[in-house]
A and B are shown apart, each in its own frame.
Chain A
């Protein structure tokens, strides 16, 4: 992370290079990473090359099975499912990334403050987190979405606002552990201010756990979005997200099973890749944890 001289980095790989090296050796994780990069590329670029629009209806093609012209088939309005799945993927992946960022920023900020604050404030803040853990969150997200409308940015905010708790706990624990280590004491003894210690010593050392936990948050966030959309509370048709498509597929699966199969496969494969990558990141960044 720090700008180390080139030769020093070669002689002693820093923790980040070592982690990357461990990650690269994990073939399953690299396959998952490749899949995710490919998926993002296809979702972003794919619709540009598709001959169909996501909402182009062709009523002559009502619910046709997968074919050379329509790789995942068409739905009951004759819309091309492959195009819709890619458009849905854009939304689902965007929610996954943005909501995780929201949750991470809140969680890291809260955790840092609690960890660096005095004992009283820390106890209060953590008790608050304990209390929030007992909240019926799915209900809250539902109420939030129902109350404030079903716009995309609100879904980001609502999901991010409920997913930060564990992040706050992780960061606070890490800060407490770091606070009394020798290098921090040394920095303080040599006159470093609070802000300097926070930015130069705490943040880089907190980053590892944050990355681990954030990578495990992404699939959870995407699942929450899909659940909301599945219940009709998230993305609204005719806009597509994987949750919307799975719902449409489930509604007509008896006669047109491919309508469920395509989006379901996309979604499950993405969750699988994200989970595999998250597990591998944990092993790579925190080798002590064992598997």
Chain B
């Protein structure tokens, strides 16, 4: 058990390092520099600024400085954002993204699991078809279509919520609904597939044979195992949701994290771009670790010693 988590932690560390290195190398290959927008500055001032930002050193030294900074929580300053440190910028956007993301997760699970379960216990009935049709429709309505539609209907026409911005206490509702509905479609399909497969197994027949009620069979016996594919999906999905869906944040103009992912790359804000990539990688590694642990608890057949 301990060995498993130790090896996973090491692997996670490698992932985060690799993400940092690749991001850095790609950013450095980009034409342009952070000083691009300040045109017509004399050469000696440009050189002085480059030295101040450490951009005159060899790339490997710059990369090492970034990695050491993240590892020791000595976060660099983002020149493009009024000289604030990158952790300030990220911690400012994170609550917005996290609130919307958590609400979206709750909506996605609350919609997706019952729909998938209903479809699985009554295969090939009208309910099954309706649920799966709705799920397929959900998969085909990505956030760049559903988001503007929600904003148009509930924001601009019905005026129940603000169509965009982050002013009122309920501004999280529309983005969370948009993301939640989209993710619930995948969850419903995974739940149905997982539950159908589990219900066909022999231990379910045993449970039925010993006289367990259908509810008990589905919820006590089958559900734990049927959850596994959903869980596998949820790890990366949760990391993605918490760090802010870029499209949704653009559509609803939320001051979350998502916009920094694009903005920092476009602006050649090396510090912020690296920080965003690192933050996302940490989230994804963390959630994958969590998913592994929960899976081991749910399914005794997955041995954690088999790393």
Contact = CB atoms under 8 A, between A and B. Distances in A.
B198 interface: no
A139 interface: yes
B294 interface: no
Contact of A135 (B149, B250, B281): B281
A140 B14 CA distance: 17
Contacts of A246: 144-145, 148
A260 interface: yes
Given A131-B15, A131-B18, A254-B156, A268 B26 contact: no
A38 B120 CA distance: 34
B277 A134 contact: no
Interface residues of A, number: 42
Interface residues of B, number: 48
Contacts of B139: 271, 275
Given A246-B145, A271-B140, A231 B27 contact: no
B30 to A, nearest CB: 4
Contacts of B251: 250
Given A143-B273, A253-B148, A290-B196, A134 B141 contact: no
Contacts of A272: 136-137, 140
A220 B26 CA distance: 24
Contacts of A275: 136, 139-140
A147 B26 contact: yes
A223 B142 contact: yes
Contact of A268 (B11, B29, B141, B284): B141
Interface string A235-255: 000000001001101100110
A223 to B, nearest CB: 5
Nearest to A146: B265
Given A139-B261, A227-B247, A147 B27 contact: yes
Contacts of B12: 134
B250 A249 contact: no
B285 interface: yes
Closest 4 CB pairs of A and B: A250-B148, A147-B30, A271-B140, A272-B140
Interface of B: 11-12, 14-15, 18-19, 22-23, 26-27, 29-31, 136-137, 139-142, 144-145, 147-149, 151-152, 156, 163, 196-197, 236, 243, 246-247, 250-251, 261-262, 265-266, 273, 276-277, 280-281, 284-285, 288
Given A143-B265, A290-B196, 11 more contacts: A134-B12, A135-B19, A136-B277, A143-B23, A226-B142, A226-B144, A230-B144, A230-B247, A253-B148, A260-B152, A272-B140
Interface of A: 127, 130-131, 133-136, 138-140, 142-144, 146-148, 219, 223, 226-227, 230-231, 233, 243, 246-247, 249-250, 253-254, 257, 260, 264, 267-269, 271-272, 275-276, 279, 290
